[in-house]
Amino acid sequence: MSDHALRLLREQPHLAELAAFPFNFDLTRADHGEAVRLASGGPLEAVAGDDTGGTYFVCGDGSVLYADSEGSAGIIGNSVDEALEVLVGLPGWHDYLGLAPADGEEKIRAAVAETEEEIREYHGIDDERTELRAGLGLPERSPVELIGLLHAALLRTEPDFLLLNAEEGGAHDLLDRHPRPPLWETVLARGRTDLTLLREGSAWDEVSGDRARRAPALRAAQFDRREGDLPLLRHLLRHEAEASMTDELRLAAVLVGLHGCAEDLPLLYEVRETDFDTWCGLGGMPEPDADPAELRSWARDLDDSLFGTDPTDEPLFTWTGLAHEQGLVELARAALIRRLDDIDFRAYCDARDGKATDRRDASQLSSLVHEFEQLSDTFQALRAQRLYVPLQTGAWDRVSALLRLARLEREEGRFGAAIRTLASLRDTLAEPDAGSGSGSGSGSGSDKSLGHWQRTNLGAYIVEEHYAVARTAATDTALADEVRAVTVAAGELLARLSGTARANVERHLAGTTDIHTDTHTDSRTDTHTDTGANPDAGVSAEPTPPQPSAG
């Protein structure tokens, strides 16, 4: 993108003065006052500001992002040249954020004329506009054309240019309020196209063999059901079974089952027997010799409880997961950050008003952590986990949540925070009843959930994380004393593990220089992955993977 105008402003002070006044693009005001960054991690350079505290940033592709002082941001041009066309041609552009080409020429010209007359009561803009356009080589465009440029630019803001507070991670609001298509509509677009191809009898192998196309096609079939779809649904079902247990596999089984054909029972049974996960996930399915009415009843019950025909009823995580699989990473990230912001704001309001946080947020936060980790966005995963930890009342759940928090802090390089989190974890091991909510534990009312942590996978992960934090934090000489304390604590915890558990941990310590940094391994600690009711049970080297998130 062209930066011709910006270069001229930097080279010619007179033009820079004109841009600063009366058009409020001031090169001397490029300090935004707080650290910000793009959610995508893309480059961002502050180049100018205005007298209201707003800042103009140039993004990696040359687009200009404007952030005001009230926490809103939006793209206002595809390049600095285009942004200056808007600013010079529409000096009252802030008043036009709600205008769109669809409003018509008469309304646009009337709004612009009214604002500019108000500006002229205080200072000139006409001669200055002519001079600056000539000096920068900017074309003269009509207000209608400029509103079209501004409107198109604003609609590009999200997801690729979502602006965050760099320290807290919250997203800025959109500068405008123009409607955008819902996430599900964007995600389903390719699925609807592929479903049409399947119905036409083409691209069966291409679609069914590609999980990123197969899953959206199944979702499209969920919301557009036709009697003649049974052959293609059978085909998709067979291929989806190759991905093991997924929500889309259950959906495909339901869509096939709703047709109530007896000849589909052997196929469904074969799919259910694919592996242990599919056997569990498709539990309750009628046997191969069942009555077709029984099959239809089973499918209808699952459809009513899990699926349905309205895409707006689907959980957010259905669409973010599918967006990620389609390569729409920033679309998924933006939606997840917006959801996390909502939960964070509610938690703030509840704390301010002395109310208990909605327990439903705990499940969403756990899913958010998982989804952010899938996007390799440890920063946002850590932010979600910090909100999740205080919602855990049982000792086992608190320790598991603290363990995951420590890992995320370590991976983000926040070693001091990770060390403090591990100290809180050890305090809970020592006093499991501290912080327990009512109803936890059994018998006398005390929390017994950590009674045999030394013989579980959780105990092994705790020790390994202590050593991992000690090893990585050793690079920070300011934390030398804290690192020594963590190392001592790790040795003490190791000594408390059962023989089998201790042997497995020692083998891991001897066999790798990066103990359990894999996100899938550590995320298992968010479920009660006890090795069994037998207190003498040990730790397996490769514990059972977690079940897919319910979203």
Note the pLDDT tens digit of each residue in 123-144. Answer: 999 999 999 999 999 999 999 9
> Which of 154, 146, 149, 203 is CA-nearest to residue 176?
154
**Phi and psi for 405 in degrees, rounded to 5?**
-60, -45
pTM metric for this prediction: 0.89
Residue 549 to residues 181, 208, 249, 364: CA-CA distances in angstroms? 26, 23, 14, 10
Burial class (CB in 10 A: 0-12, 13-18, 19+), 121: exposed
> Which of 252, 210, 250 is CA-nearest to residue 233?
252
Q: Please say whether the beta carbons of 45 and 58 come within 8 A.
A: yes
Residue 183 tokens read as 């996430």
What percentage of the chain carries pLDDT values higher than 90? Answer: 84
- 256: alpha, beta or left? (left if phi > 0; alpha if psi -120 to 50): alpha
547 pLDDT higher than 50: no
Q: Please say whether the beta carbons of 357 and 347 come within 8 A.
A: yes
State the pLDDT at residue 510: 86
Question: pLDDT tens for residues 368-383?
Answer: 999 999 999 999 999 9
335 pLDDT higher than 90: yes
**Phi and psi for 163 in degrees, rounded to 5?**
-95, 135
The Cα–Cα gap between 71 and 171 comes to: 8
Pinpoint the alpha helices (H) of 101-258.
Answer: 105-120, 126-136, 143-154, 183-199, 204-208, 211-223, 230-240, 247-257
Task: Extract the runs of DSSP E, i.e. beta strands, from 293-438.
Answer: none
State the pLDDT at residue 523: 36
Q: Please say whether the beta carbons of 397 and 455 come within 8 A.
A: no
Give Cβ neighbours of residue 190 (< 8 Å, ≥ 6 apart).
213, 216, 326
Three-state SS letters, 257-272? HCCCCHHHHHHHHHHH
Burial class (CB in 10 A: 0-12, 13-18, 19+), 200: exposed
State the pLDDT at residue 345: 94
In sequence order, the β-bridge partners of residue 57 are 46, 65
Q: Please say whether the beta carbons of 48 and 77 come within 8 A.
A: no
State the pLDDT at residue 358: 75
The length of the chain is 551
514 pLDDT higher than 60: no
Least confident of 130-139, 177-186, 213-222, 343-352: 343-352
Give Cβ neighbours of residue 395 (< 8 Å, ≥ 6 apart).
428, 432, 433, 435, 436, 440, 447, 449, 450
In sequence order, the β-bridge partners of residue 37 are 164
The Cα–Cα gap between 379 and 188 comes to: 28
Stretch 5-28: mean pLDDT:
97
Give Rg (Cα) of the chain.
29
The Cα–Cα gap between 485 and 493 comes to: 12
